């Protein structure tokens, strides 16, 4: 049978069976129901690969700055602090701000009691080279030249018997160049414009540590407000017992990050630790640094280390960062 005859027979058969035309349903056609549907197997995957936890965006953590470790010796261990300090970055800023205010970089003030106001303290360095002998300490010549005029200056904030209360009290009316309402410290800062201040206090308040500490703090803060670099000093004596005053001085130096001249440590190797029989005043000898015998007494050490401290602090604040 050829292909054409076969197709004709198929068409005739379908017509005879009543097959509807394409796109129409027979009148007797019923919608499939559950009773007449042929079941079809539903195939589901045997495993569903669903994530157990939705991914979260990756958090970008910025690097945190590492705190600079504090390598300073604690104030309770002040006896091991060096005699000659270095300066902190904060004091460099204070010095630069002071210059902008008109402070004189070649001047320092003395603030304190008899051990800083006496003529024995540094004054000879303003009297010409014939009045002092540096011996082998010739590296101190530049600092002597730089601060010329300040060594013999005893301003309004230093005097025999002075303590924090006197320094912070208003001066008497008409006292030299000071105004009536000014404190001795305010008058000194206004009239002298120092860039540095050496503070030597405490012996006259050994029985008043509760007054000494807030008073010294106020002096420090007034100096910093005037953009003056404070240089604190420990004292050689221990009239109060347990070195409470020196501990307070070290605590404030630590708190404000100030240079501390640890004079106490400088005189410890000396006979009687550099103290006279009253255990208060320093043993005296002329500050001739070429005479080694003189270094058995406290005053040559006081003047030598004071020069070294001034040199270290000035070089530190004026150096580049």
How confident is the model over 167-201, as pLDDT tens digits? 999 876 556 788 888 999 999 999 999 999 999 99
Q: Which residues are bridge partners to 288 per DSSP?
A: 133
The pair phi, psi for residue 195, each rounded to 5°, is: -95, -20
Asked if residue 103 belongs to a domain, the reply is yes
* Domain of 268, in residue numbers: 85-316
Contact call for residues 157 and 188 (beta carbons, < 8 A): yes
Cα 241 versus chain centre, distance:
30
How far lies 294's CA from each of 43, 169, 199, 286, in Å?
109, 39, 25, 7
The pLDDT score that the predictor gives to residue 67 is 67
Asked if residue 69 belongs to a domain, the reply is no
Low-confidence stretches of the chain (pLDDT < 70) are 1-68, 172-175, 321
Asked if residue 266 belongs to a domain, the reply is yes
Residue 112 belongs to domain with CATH number: 3.40.50.1110
- Residues 137-162 as b/e (b if ≥16 CB within 10 A, e otherwise) read eeebeebbebbeebbebbbbbbbeeb
d(CA 273, CA 271): 5
Asked if residue 37 belongs to a domain, the reply is no
The pLDDT score that the predictor gives to residue 217 is 98
The pLDDT score that the predictor gives to residue 179 is 87
The pLDDT score that the predictor gives to residue 62 is 61
Number of domains making up the chain:
1
Other CB atoms closer than 10 Å to residue 251's CB: what's the count? Answer: 17
- Residues 36-55 as b/e (b if ≥16 CB within 10 A, e otherwise) read eeeeeeeeeeeeeeeeeeee
Asked if residue 75 belongs to a domain, the reply is no
d(CA 194, CA 154): 12
- DSSP 8-state code for residue 297: S
The pLDDT score that the predictor gives to residue 97 is 97
């Amino acid at each position: 049978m050829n292909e054409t005859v076969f197709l004709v027979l198929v068409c005739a058969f379908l017509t005879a069976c009543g097959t509807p035309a394409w796109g129409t349903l027979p009148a007797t056609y019923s919608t499939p129901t559950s009773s007449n549907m042929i079941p079809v197997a539903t195939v589901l995957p045997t495993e569903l690969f669903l994530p157990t936890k939705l991914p979260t965006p990756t958090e970008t953590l910025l690097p945190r700055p590492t705190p600079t470790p504090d390598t300073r010796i604690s104030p309770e261990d002040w006896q091991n602090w060096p005699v000659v300090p270095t300066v902190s970055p904060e004091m460099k800023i204070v010095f630069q701000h002071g210059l902008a205010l008109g402070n004189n970089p070649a001047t320092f003030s003395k603030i304190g009691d008899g051990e800083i106001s006496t003529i024995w303290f540094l004054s000879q360095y303003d009297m010409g080279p014939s009045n002092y002998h540096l011996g082998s300490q010739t590296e101190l010549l530049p600092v002597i030249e730089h601060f010329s005029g300040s060594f013999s200056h005893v301003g309004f904030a230093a005097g025999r018997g002075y303590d924090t209360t006197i320094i912070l009290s208003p001066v008497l009316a008409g006292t030299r160049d000071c105004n009536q309402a000014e404190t001795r410290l305010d008058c000194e800062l206004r009239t002298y414009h120092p860039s540095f201040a050496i503070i030597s206090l405490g012996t006259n308040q050994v029985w008043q540590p509760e007054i000494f500490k807030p008073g010294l703090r106020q002096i420090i803060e007034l100096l910093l407000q005037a953009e003056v670099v404070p240089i604190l000093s420990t004292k050689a004596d221990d009239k109060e017992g347990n070195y409470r005053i020196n501990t307070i001085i070290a605590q404030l130096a630590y708190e404000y990050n100030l240079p501390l001249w640890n004079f106490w440590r400088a005189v410890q190797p000396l006979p009687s630790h550099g103290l006279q029989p009253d255990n208060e005043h320093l043993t005296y000898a002329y500050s001739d640094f070429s005479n080694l015998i003189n270094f058995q007494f406290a005053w040559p050490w006081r003047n030598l280390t004071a020069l070294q401290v001034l040199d270290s602090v000035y070089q530190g604040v004026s150096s580049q960062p």
